[in-house]
Structure 1
Amino acid sequence: MSWGAMRIGGVEYDLTHLDPLLIWVQPNAEGARMLRVLVSFSHHVFTRAIQPDDDPAAVCGPSTDLRCFCPERFGLSLRLREIIKAAGTQKAFFPAPNHVRQRNFLLLEVEAGQPPYLIAFNLERATRADVEAVMFVVSAHSRPSLPPKSQMDSIRFATLVAKVVRGEAINRPPKKR
């Protein structure tokens, strides 16, 4: 699905950077083959909750989940493709243990002097033959209150993809003492 472009307040916003993306992930196991992951994006990466004074022209999304275009989230979303392409060598993080959506995982981009950019996604084994896994980016936004990465449970992204493709359970690491 292509998000195309939106015109709000006389400004056109090109959303084609959020078109589906194919990434290749190399698991760490010796002799493991590269895995193809098809990535798609929710409108939550460029929208926020609707507020009473929002311009109706800025409201978008499916009728069951209408939201308001957010210039800040849109600006941050311009980096999503680059961050996700690099994810194969990075860590993915588990959500907080009490988080409602335990099947989501997180990628975090932290730049000096900026709040963390949280990218929430889920990952499933593909049902189509041309890819091994499907990644859906549920949301992406600035999250100032996030704990440091060192305090969050993590798994290597490549390991996560390989486990999903093999149908293995994804377990949170044991608590450190």
Structure 2
Amino acid sequence: MGVNWDSGLIYWKDHIPSTSERYSLSHLHPFIQPLNLSATEKHPSRNVQLHVSFGLHTFTRAILACDSDHQFYRDNREVRSFCAKRYASSFELPQIIQTLEHRRCEFARGMGGIINYVTVETRRGERYAVFFDLRRFKKAGADAVHLMVQSAYVLDANKPAPGRGRISFHALLGHILRGTNPRPPP
């Protein structure tokens, strides 16, 4: 069980489907990553504190009719099924986020058409998509940003890439800190 990201940074409890099984989720506990945004012609440099947290969809999937109660995992908003494949891939997430400033970031459509962002890691012939959102984190300071990894999963090989356009992670941080919105592609 965890808490909704609007309530704060999420510390997930281990998934324990039986007395003989335990899946630690400590690798998905929040962390803070300091980043330096270099000065530009229009904006001074800033030392950013990136507060990173991971959502329920990074290690669970939608419930199927064949799922049993011991597979269920819930936060304060929804119940989903623990997914062994997403869980195994989730061990890569902290490293992907720690290197996000050197990765290609693209615009993606989140639930309800809301814009979020995606980076895609290609490994072993698969595309692993990591969807995230950024918000000011004012209670942690003027230069604090909360990055929430909303979902992460291996993409269907027969479907197109989920992102469009391109934006650098530093440009995204600058927009968030200034309270402006980057312009997504048409």
TM superposition score category, shorter chain reference = 0.7 to 0.9
Distance change in 2, residues 1:172/1:28 (3 Å): farther
Question: How far is the alpha carbon of 1:140 from its aligned partner?
Answer: 0.7
Question: How far is the alpha carbon of 1:23 from its aligned partner?
Answer: 1.6
- Unaligned ranges ≥5, structure 2: 1-9
Q: Which runs of 4+ in 1 moved over 6 A?
A: none
CA RMSD after TM alignment? 2.3
Deviations along 1:134-174, one digit per CA (max 9) or x if unpaired, are 1111111111245459x83110011101111111221125x
Q: What is the match of residue 177 of structure 2?
A: 165
Is residue 5–residue 15 contact of structure 1 (8 Å, CA) maintained in 2?
A: yes
Is residue 47–residue 69 contact of structure 1 (8 Å, CA) maintained in 2?
A: yes
2:105 aligned with 1:92: yes
Question: How far is the alpha carbon of 1:103 from its aligned partner?
Answer: 2.6
SS state at 2:96 partner: helix
Question: How far is the alpha carbon of 1:108 from its aligned partner?
Answer: 1.4
Is residue 48–residue 68 contact of structure 1 (8 Å, CA) maintained in 2?
A: yes
Equivalents in 2 of 1:42, 1:71: separation in Å? 16
Q: What is the match of residue 43 of structure 1?
A: 56
Distance change in 2, residues 1:37/1:111 (3 Å): same
Instruction: Report the TM-score, using the length of structure 1 for normalisation.
Output: 0.85
> Where do 1:1-177 residues align within 5 Å?
1-9=10-18, 10-30=20-40, 32-62=45-75, 64-95=77-108, 100-114=112-126, 116-130=127-141, 132-144=144-156, 145-147=158-160, 152-173=164-185
Give the partner amino acid of 1:94.
Answer: F
Identity of aligned residues (%): 26
Give the partner amino acid of 2:63.
Answer: I
Instruction: Report the TM-score, using the length of structure 2 for normalisation.
Output: 0.81
Is residue 15–residue 73 contact of structure 2 (8 Å, CA) maintained in 1?
A: no
Is residue 32–residue 50 contact of structure 2 (8 Å, CA) maintained in 1?
A: yes
- Number of matched pairs: 171
- Unaligned ranges ≥5, structure 1: none
Question: How far is the alpha carbon of 1:132 from its aligned partner?
Answer: 1.4
